[in-house]
Amino acid sequence: MSSQLIKQLHANRLRTWEQAKELADRAADENRSFTGEEERQWLQFNDDINEYDKRITRIQSDERRARDADAILSGPGRAGAVIRNAELRAWARGEGSRSIEIQNPGSPIDFRALSKLSAGAGGSTVPQGFYNRLMAHLIESSGVMQAGVTVLNTTSGETIPVPKTTAHSTAALVAEAGTIGTSDPAFGSVDLGAYKYGAKFAVSTELLSDSGVDLEGYLSAQAGRALGNAFGVHALSGTGAAQPRGILTDTTAGATGPTGVSGGFGAQETADRGADLLIELFYSVIAPYRMSASCNWMMADGTASTIRKIKDATNGQYIWQPAAIAGQPDLLLSKPVVIDPNVPAVAVDAKSVLFGDFSTYFVRIAGGIRFERSDDFAFDSDLVTFRALMRADSAMVDLTGSIKHFVGGAS
């Protein structure tokens, strides 16, 4: 049933995109801008496409959770799984220690595994899937985390120095018997610490007592989304002073917009505008980085809405390619597009589009996620208050141009 619904939603999405293209084509053929009504229709089409994307993602997520539950209930470890979930609920009701630390059980979500949960973490055994579900929600809330960044998991939070490349070796033509010059790559170092992020939310005692409620899913969603939203802001624009160092802080310009278009791309009819600027940004990142599996575009929804209308100058074809398979990202010049609301909107001097190999951005998560419970904070409301704490840091480790940005021109 859900697979049929996904197919129908995807078909509706493609149909809406064709309607949007027809609207833009009509204005282009008549060599005019959108009328007020056409602009309203265009924005509505884009809103509908975004809503279809959200519904498809939500259904697919529900399907994965259902499959995971079936595997637990029907697999060899069925009895143990029931006990672990019962222990999580017992801890949430106040039976046991005040806090637990949830660490990575070694799932494919992360590149390096944390140590196993120890008895010293409060004596509560948390289901292995809980960490994965929490991290999945955190990743869903941050476009940077979706883009293929390198994640380092450590059991403690001491500062770790990570080498960063600032220049590559170069070669030169050498005459017969001539001296070969020395050109070493230039390295620096960036320190990854552990800045603390916290989220607090309350749960009714009725919800904690009701065995029919997916408590694991509820707690992981609340904590993961809150932490992901907070960290995601700094992962893009953090200064590195008392907070993580964001991607935009260290990228260089691969393309600059024309003047007089409020930081936008300008009309395609003029050379070096429109699609030409995005093509310039694409090729400003060298081939080894472009070929990486972690090479993506990143922008906010409003910027995506603008770029969807752009055609190339040669064939008059849209450079934006809607996903052919439900749940897959749209493509721009053959590379996936990641949407992150924290990327600046199109504006004068704004870095509104990122492109490159996001694996060169390192995210360090120290010591897992710590959950703490208080029965006293909202005692008069019969609520149990939970606090989730995460320590993380991040920085670019390749400053040779692995990720570049488009910046709006002067007014």
Q: Read off the pLDDT of residues 92-101 as tens digits, 9 standing for 90 and up.
A: 666 666 666 6
Q: Using CA atoms, how far apart are residues 208 and 384, in angstroms rounded to an integer?
A: 9
Walk me through the domains of the chain, giving residue ranges and CATH numbers: 76-411 (3.90.1690)
Nearest Cα residue to 313 out of 265, 258, 260: 265
Which has more confidence, 283 or 36?
283
State the distance between the two ends of the chain, measured CA to CA, in whole angstroms: 52
Q: Helices 36-74 and 128-140 meet at what angle, rounded to 10? A: 170
At residue 82, the pLDDT reads 38
At residue 342, the pLDDT reads 93
Annotate 45-54 with b (16+ C-beta within 10 A) or e (fewer). bbebbeebbe
Task: Kindly state the helix (H) or strand (E) to which residue 385 belongs, with its residue range.
Answer: strand 383-396
Tokens 């809405």, residue located: 305
At residue 157, the pLDDT reads 79
Q: Using CA atoms, how far apart are residues 390 and 20, in angstroms rounded to an integer?
A: 42
At residue 249, the pLDDT reads 94
pLDDT higher than 90, residue 197: yes
Q: Using CA atoms, how far apart are residues 374 and 390, in angstroms rounded to an integer?
A: 18
67 SS3 class? helix
Highest mean pLDDT among 10-19, 146-155, 169-178, 210-219: 146-155
Which tens digits make up the pLDDT trace of 52-65? Answer: 777 777 776 666 65
Q: If you count DSSP H runs as helices and E runs as strands, how many of each does the chain have, helices first?
A: 11, 14
Which tens digits make up the pLDDT trace of 200-240? Answer: 888 888 877 776 667 777 888 888 889 999 999 999 999 99
Nearest Cα residue to 157 out of 192, 124, 186: 192
- Mean pLDDT along residues 344-359: 95
Annotate 246-271 with b (16+ C-beta within 10 A) or e (fewer). bbbbbbeebbbbbeebebbbbebeee
At residue 128, the pLDDT reads 46
- Mean pLDDT along residues 243-270: 90
pLDDT-based confidence at residue 290 (cuts at 50, 70, 90): very high
* Strand 361-374 to 383-396 pairing: antiparallel
Q: Using CA atoms, how far apart are residues 359 and 144, in angstroms rounded to an integer?
A: 10
At residue 77, the pLDDT reads 36
Give the sign of the dihedral formed by CA 61, CA 63, CA 68, CA 73. Answer: positive
What's the full length of the chain, in residues?
411
The residues with which 363 forms a beta bridge, in sequence order, are 151, 394
The residues with which 384 forms a beta bridge, in sequence order, are 203
Burial class (CB in 10 A: 0-12, 13-18, 19+), 341: middle
- Which residues, in sequence order, are CB contacts of 129 under 8 Å at separation 6+? 68, 72, 216
Nearest Cα residue to 363 out of 397, 320, 322, 332: 397
| DSSP-assigned letter for residue 190 | E
pTM value is: 0.70
Structure tokens at 411: 């007014």
Structure tokens at 105: 């059980």
> Percentage of residues in the chain with pLDDT exceeding 70?
76
| Residue 179 and residue 48 in contact, taking contact as beta carbons nearer than 8 Å | no
| Residue 321 and residue 330 in contact, taking contact as beta carbons nearer than 8 Å | yes
